[in-house]
Every structure is written in structure tokens, then in C-alpha cells.
Amino acid sequence: MSYSNSSVGSGKHQGSRTARKAFEFGRTYVVRPKGKHQATIIWLHGLGDNGSSWSQQLENLPLPNIKWICPTAPTRPVAILGGFPCTACKAKPTKIFEFSFLDKLVFKSEFDQFVGRVYCSGFDVGELSEDGPDDFEGLDASAAHIANLLSTEPADIKLGIGGFSMGAATALYSATCFAQGSYGNGSPYPVNLRAVVGLSGWLPCARSVRHKIEGSHEAARRASYLPILLSHGLCDEVVPHKYGERSYHTLSQAGFRNLAFKTYDGIGHYTVPKEMDEVSNWLHTRLGL
């Protein structure tokens, strides 16, 4: 089952001089729980993938009480790709079509036949650095779209967000919005998150969100009880392991106390069964399934 396409804005005032820009999201794929519905998790794909490929992988996890919602990111330009507009591509569940952040426009040789195509993205990426530019508008739009999907769930259902690579970055940004109680533009964040998972990703807007959370007692309180699992391959050549490690330290310094970081030796920018088994076990425990 899938939802129809939708658009979400990221600004405060429609029709004003600061009118929000609409981002057109692709198809959303839903994996229904095989048992009693206890939790709903939004799972976000990486650059160039789509919701369909991850829905197939998540359906096989031993978590019968979770409903998975897998949206497809909007088509939009990505600075690190030279400003080319992104379009959705088909991908196998564990094969993520993604440009190397080190080599810019160089594909992995395995996907040479796709040279000339570009990718879908939830937000713009300039460089992975605390000093690099951050696309707050795109991040807010993605976080709002995710929150809108979760806000329709029944009140007794536990809510979470997870993702891979750029999807992990959006999940972690959503975690900081939850802690602050608002998006980057100041609009209220409406969802009570119970768990966040980030695989092979990074924390965008790291410096600014850390200062905002550290400066608010209430934000620090909410951050302290939100469980977050981060995992990263030590041989990741797309989003190097050091960025995952830095994100872990930044979140910890900002007040996220219920935080775990797992490293996988010999693993690159992809998932493996052992990693997904540990994700399943962690969610089972943290969500009380």
C-alpha cells in the first residue's frame, strides 16, 4: 500500500515575502504490522534511493508489532552534485546509489552504467563540516513531512524515526527538533518521539543545534530521555566513520544521554545482517515490544 504524493512547506507564512517553498515528496510505502500494532517508525532512505527498496528490507525484520512508513524524498538540486536536480532511481534494498562525498561526482564502479543520472534528496548538502552551509529550509521541510505522517497515528502508538545516510541525517535533525520543541524556523514540533536510529549518517547543523539545546533546560530534559542508536562502518568511503563519531560526541555534549554508537569493522557504506539484527534488538528493547 502507498500514499499519494504530497508537498510540504518549510517556512512560517504562506504568501508573504518569506513565503515557504513547497517540496514535492515522492511515493510513500507502508509495511503493515504482522502482529498487534504497538509502534510506527518512519524510515528514511539515502541519496538516490527510494522508499520502496527499504520497505522490502524492513518487512523481513523480526519486529511484527511495528508499522513501517517509508517515504521517498523530493526531487531537488544538490550542491555537492554540482547543483544538478535529483530524480528518484530504483535500487536494491542494501545497494544505495550514492555519490562519494570525497570524489564529488564519481560513481562507484559497480554503478558505472548509471553515469549521467542524478538523485533524489530530502535536503541540500554542501559539505560535511560544522563550518559548512546547512540547508535549514530543506531540513525543516523534511522533518515537517515526517512529523505530519506520524501525527496521524493513534495516540497509544509509540513513534520513532530511522534512516540510512542522508536519511539518518534527517532522523537526527528531527531528534534535535523534538528536543527543542520546534523546527529550525521556530514553528512547534508536534510529535513525541520514542526512538531514533541513524545508520551511516551524520548530524547536520551540529554547532547551532548543540548551542540551542544547551541553552534551554527544557530542551536538555527532553534530549536526555530520547533513545538514539547510531551505527557506522569503519570503512565507509561515502560518509566517513569520523563524521558518525563526531555526531555521537556532539549529541552527547548537547545533552542526549540515552545514546549508543556502534562501529562495524570492515563495513563500508551499506548495511549488513548483523547490523540490522542489532537494530531490531535495540528497537525491541527500547520500545518495549
Residue 148 near residue 8, CB atoms below 8 Å: yes
pLDDT for res 135: 67
pLDDT for res 150: 97
Q: Does residue 17 carry a pLDDT above 80? A: no
Q: Say what the pTM is.
A: 0.78
CA–CA gap between residue 154 and residue 66 (Å, rounded)? 13
Indicate the pLDDT class of residue 12, thresholds 50, 70 and 90.
very low
Residue 16 belongs to some domain of the structure: no
For the chain, give the mean pLDDT: 78
pLDDT for res 111: 31
Number of residues in the chain? 289
Overall average pLDDT of the 85-105 stretch: 33
Q: Does residue 287 carry a pLDDT above 90? A: yes
CB-based burial, 173-197: b 16+ in 10 Å, e otherwise: bbbbbbbbebbbbeeebebebbbbb
pLDDT for res 191: 97
Residue 130 near residue 11, CB atoms below 8 Å: no
Residue 138 belongs to some domain of the structure: yes
Q: How far is CA 244 from CA 41, 98, 207, in A?
A: 21, 17, 15
CA–CA gap between residue 279 and residue 18 (Å, rounded)? 41
Residue 259 near residue 248, CB atoms below 8 Å: yes
φ/ψ (deg, to 5) at 60? -90, 0
Q: Does residue 151 carry a pLDDT above 50? A: yes
Residue 144 belongs to some domain of the structure: yes
Indicate the pLDDT class of residue 23, thresholds 50, 70 and 90.
low
Q: Which of 152, 158, 83, 85 is nearest to 120 (CA)?
A: 85
Residue 266 belongs to some domain of the structure: yes
Q: Give residue-wise pLDDT tens across range 157-179.
A: 999 999 999 899 999 999 999 99
Residue 220 belongs to some domain of the structure: yes
Residue 72 belongs to some domain of the structure: yes
The three-point CA angle 126-131-135 to 5° equals 40
Residue 269 near residue 197, CB atoms below 8 Å: no
Overall average pLDDT of the 238-253 stretch: 94
Residue type (1 letter), 88: A
Local structure of residue 40 (DSSP, 8 states): E
Residue 48 belongs to some domain of the structure: yes
pLDDT for res 146: 94
Q: Which of 244, 239, 231, 228 is nearest to 269 (CA)?
A: 239
CA–CA gap between residue 125 and residue 138 (Å, rounded)? 10
The total number of structural domains in the chain stands at 1
Structural domain for 150, as ranges? 2-11+21-286
CATH number of the domain encompassing residue 206: 3.40.50.1820
Residue 149 belongs to some domain of the structure: yes
Residue type (1 letter), 21: K
